[in-house]
Amino acid sequence: MTPTEFSPATTSQLDRADALCTRQGGRMTQQRREILGLILDAKTPVGAYDLLEKIKTPDRRPAPPTVYRALDFLLEHGLIHRIERLSAFVPCTHLLHDAPGHDPDHCHDHDHDTCLHTAQFLICKSCKSVTEIADSSLLTTLRGICREQDFVMQGASIEVVGLCADCAAKARPAGKAARKQAAPSPS
Ligand SMILES: [Zn+2]
Ligand SMILES: [Zn+2]
């Protein structure tokens, strides 16, 4: 088996993910690591079948369940998110950046689902880029609504569809209409 080679930047993110899993009692196998690396390196969300294609070699043809199991593991450990509307996966931004407020130790060490609940995404229809935002006030609002309804929230993925700043700027000469497309969609 010849695992894909990753850049030093990706490798250090993978090492961080590895340490995180170990602390959570999980085991980052070679295959899980490779799949996470491919998701980290992708510029846009990747689907399970794209991943399957990427890890296929002449002497290695992993079966779809192998990929799904690896994805489940990565989701469970908060390393990636699933974009429902695209049926595709993106790395958790908390893993990508050391920015203050995005401390992975803070986010992932305590109550697991606190982090999963906050998954909010801005999806650009034009370039397919996905930006993860973590706005705790949105979560607080949702929690309040659920409490009023006696609804037990187990997860909430908010996916906002529209145009990113770059694509909106490109679309602007055609008129202001482009901005109006950026409306939140229930999911
Ligand atoms: Zn995240
Ligand atoms: Zn865009």
Q: From ligand 2's centre to the CA of 122, what distance in Å?
A: 10
Reported pTM: 0.75
Reported as a pLDDT band with limits 50, 70 and 90, residue 182 is low
* CATH code that applies to domain 1-110: 1.10.10.10
How does pLDDT run across 109-134, given as a tens digit for each residue? 334 444 555 678 999 999 999 998 87
Annotated binding site for Zn(2+): 124, 127, 164, 167
Q: From ligand 2's centre to the CA of 125, what distance in Å?
A: 7
Q: From ligand 2's centre to the CA of 107, what distance in Å?
A: 28
Q: From ligand 2's centre to the CA of 94, what distance in Å?
A: 21
Question: Which of 30, 29, 32, 35 has its CA nearest to residue 47?
Answer: 35
1-110 against 111-187: fold identical? no
Q: From ligand 2's centre to the CA of 71, what distance in Å?
A: 26
Q: Could you please state the CATH topology (level 3) that the domain comprising 111-187 is classified under.
A: Dna Ligase; domain 1 (3.30.1490)
Q: How is the chain split into domains, by residue range?
A: 1-110, 111-187
How does pLDDT run across 55-73, given as a tens digit for each residue? 988 888 888 899 999 999 9
Q: From ligand 1's centre to the CA of 56, what distance in Å?
A: 28
The three-point CA angle 135-90-170 to 5° equals 80
Of the bound ligands, which one is closest to the alpha carbon of residue 102? Answer: 1
Of the bound ligands, which one is closest to the alpha carbon of residue 181? Answer: 2
Q: From ligand 1's centre to the CA of 28, what distance in Å?
A: 18
